[in-house]
Structure 1
Amino acid sequence: LRTPSGLSEGEMAKQMKVKKLKNLKTLDSKPGVYTAYKPYLNRDEDIIKQLQKGVQQKRPSAAQNAILRRYFLELTQSFIIPLERYVASLMPLQKTISPWKSPPQLRAFVSQDFMKTLEKAGPQLTSRLKGDWIGLYRNFLKSPNFDGWFRNRRREMTQKLEALHLEALCEEDLQQRVQMHSEVETVDLVLKLKDKLTQAEREQLPVRPGTVAKLRAHIDAVILALPEDLQGILHKPSTP
């Protein structure tokens, strides 16, 4: 049988096989780790030379590993510091925290705003490594790793806001405030303070030492200032 080009099927198969062989690339015989991943940062020749020198000098493996771990730790810190700095800026100022209002909310993480900070406060301040840092950050912000990292940081910062709010409450003269409000409002205050106390103990909020005990004492004092029937409802604290 002949194909439209005039070649037999056997000749056609042989020609295709030759073309495929021509397209094959020879494998690099040098030892190393190969990957299809395209790096964003340039190769650091200094660390490579340092490790190669260690091999030549028969440096112990533990020492080589320590050098490599320190290198990647410093590189990771250079990468994460700009993120930490920007996330810290999302925290409301402490002076905006009022004991009689709900704690303020963290501002939203806006990727574009963060990227703008990299020009003057990026990893170039702490790392000599060159490359596409911007592309690396863009890729990281879209990854599950960033989502997990930011959720943890957001939880920590939210707890810090709750702790500052709790400390602000403890600094207030609650007895004076009770005198200015009705019994219903005072009962409502006690219930809210109890909720704050439960939250502080359950979530182990990062409050100053003695804050929880001080809040508990405030609650007891406010309850004792109420009529006895209300004290019973609010679980009157035991007196010595």
Structure 2
Amino acid sequence: LAICCCLFSLGVYTSYKPYLNKDEEIVKQLQKGVQQKRPTEAQSVILRRYFLELTESFIIPLERYVASLMPLQKCISPWKSPPQLRHFSQDDFMKTLEKAGPQLTSGLKGDWIGLYRHFLKSPNFDGWFRSRQKEMTQKLEALHLEALCNENLVFWSQKHTEVETVDLVLKLKNKLLQADREHLPVKTDTLKKLQAHIRDIILTLPDDLQDILLKTGTT
């Protein structure tokens, strides 16, 4: 007990550099709660809400920038592989903060730029960004599937060689398997439509190829 009292009287010190200024308003709210004997649970709710809103103010600019790395839907061609996400540029992101930074949703002052630079070097950012990359890549794959479904694939097959048509069928089957394996955000109707396309294309081929392709993968 004596040691604890000594520590509190001397203060608690840390080598961590604070990037944001102390929020006097939340301190006053909590102190007022203590004076009014506000229940601990209510104090916790206030504190959790405060940090949630602060976190949202911090993460929204990142979410907005990362979303801009997604290629436009008009760039997705059914006859080409899905486009790649654009590269995350720390410099480009920092430039967005002047007009679309956390100051739009938070009145807290401080070195937000320094805080972002610190975060971008941390394992937490790496995990967060990998998760977003996966989500957006899956979205691109799903949009590519939808683009394929909106094409007249039977008409396409009639204008191409038998070898090219078989190759298309195999690629479409792989797309279906990928959608199931990776749990792509694809509507059930889209998958059914693609399955119908595959069957219709197969039926345009000679009987021997039909037998082989109908037994290969999913139709």
Q: TM-score, normalised by structure 2?
A: 0.92
Contact 1:170 1:214 in 2 (8 A): yes
The one of 173, 179, 198 equivalent to 1:194 is: 173
Q: Does 1:203 align with 2:182?
A: yes
The one of 126, 130, 135 equivalent to 1:151 is: 130
Between 1 and 2, higher relative CO (CA 8 Å, sep ≥ 6) is seen in 2
Contact 1:223 1:236 in 2 (8 A): no
Contact 1:78 1:123 in 2 (8 A): yes
Q: Which runs of 5+ in 2 are unaligned?
A: 1-5
1:45-124 superposed matches below 5 A: 45-124=24-103
Sequence identity percentage = 76
1:7-26 superposed matches below 5 A: none
Aligned to 2:48, what secondary structure does the other structure show?
helix
The separation in 2 between residues aligned to 1:197 and 1:73, in whole angstroms, is 39
Select the structure of larger CA radius of gyration.
1
Residue of structure 1 equivalent to 2:202: 223
Which residue identity does 1:62 align to in structure 2?
A: E
1:120 Cα shift? Answer: 0.8
Q: Does 1:213 align with 2:156?
A: no
Higher helix share: 2
Q: Which runs of 5+ in 1 are unaligned?
A: 1-26
Residue of structure 2 equivalent to 1:35: 14
1:36 Cα shift? Answer: 2.6
The separation in 2 between residues aligned to 1:81 and 1:127, in whole angstroms, is 11
Residue of structure 1 equivalent to 2:146: 167
The separation in 1 between residues aligned to 2:80 and 2:13, in whole angstroms, is 57
The one of 114, 126, 142 equivalent to 1:135 is: 114
Which residue identity does 1:162 align to in structure 2?
A: E
1:236 Cα shift? Answer: 5.2
Aligned to 1:99, what secondary structure does the other structure show?
coil
